[in-house]
Amino acid sequence: MSEPIIRVEKSDGIATVTLNRPNAMNALSRELRIAIAETFEALEADEDVRVVILTGAGKAFCAGLDLKELGGDASAVGGAGGVNATISDKDPVTSIGRFSGPVIGAINGVAITGGFELAIACDVLLCSENARFADTHARVGILPGWGLSQKLSRTIGIYRAKELSLTGNFLSAQQAYEWGLINRVLPAEELLPAARKLAEDMLTVVPQCLTGYKKLIDEGYAQDFGTSLKTERDFSNAANKAVAPEEIAARRAGIQERGKAQTS
């Protein structure tokens, strides 16, 4: 029996999704692109899953498009993510973005072009020391269509983004951390345990805030500053009316105990 192209493990509100084409560096074949999209659609529909960890099997996170599948056919290149997708194709980056809970990227190795786009579709990025990023769209001769050209400059600044995208040079995990692209760098053996611990921490917040706060951040991030402040006020006014003062008082006591534990 052949291995599934994606592995999904669920436990205590957390789903770990592993891209499982290690012999192809988890390259994005059409089958894998559709499988990623359908997996995240299914997880969004699963009320028991509240946080997702996304990682890759083997030495790579994702090496981008499957060039062997494209077979040098120029007509197959272009459009969203460098793929001339048909209407029946599903967009993995959009599907990841539609998952209402946090998605933690556990970047275990190289994340190149389309793989880079998958990585920055996540909400938090933890990387092993083996992780490296590269945007090789310009070297291939195509332009991105899954948001990389806009997200990257908003994350690390326009000058650094232009340096990466207009050279195709690789960015090490440590440099990515120093540039503010990722949250932290870890030894390879600590990557998934750290991602799991972070997911467990997220599950301890008030459930409606886990999704509501993520939505507020994402909507404001896509707006100009003045509009985003109004968005925050609108979200806040609607949500905070539903919280009773005694609930806040009880939760503060728990926060104080947690703070003591984290500083001891």
pLDDT at 85: 44
Distance CA 75, CA 98 (A): 29
Identify the three-state secondary structure at position 8.
strand
- The pair phi, psi for residue 28, each rounded to 5°, is -85, 85
Residue-level length of the chain: 264
End-to-end CA distance of the chain: 50
Assigned token pair, 12: 């205590």
pLDDT at 81: 44
- The pair phi, psi for residue 166, each rounded to 5°, is -90, 0
pTM over the 0.95 mark: no
Distance CA 147, CA 198 (A): 26
> pLDDT of the chain along its 264 residues, tens only?
678 999 999 999 999 999 999 999 999 999 999 999 999 999 999 999 999 999 999 999 999 987 777 654 444 443 444 444 443 467 899 999 999 999 999 999 999 999 999 999 999 999 999 999 999 999 999 999 999 999 999 999 999 999 999 999 999 999 999 999 999 999 999 999 999 999 999 999 999 999 999 999 999 999 999 999 999 999 999 888 877 777 677 777 777 777 777 765
User: How distant is the alpha carbon of residue 155 from its chain centre?
Assistant: 13
Closest by CA to 17, choosing from 121, 172, 170, is 121
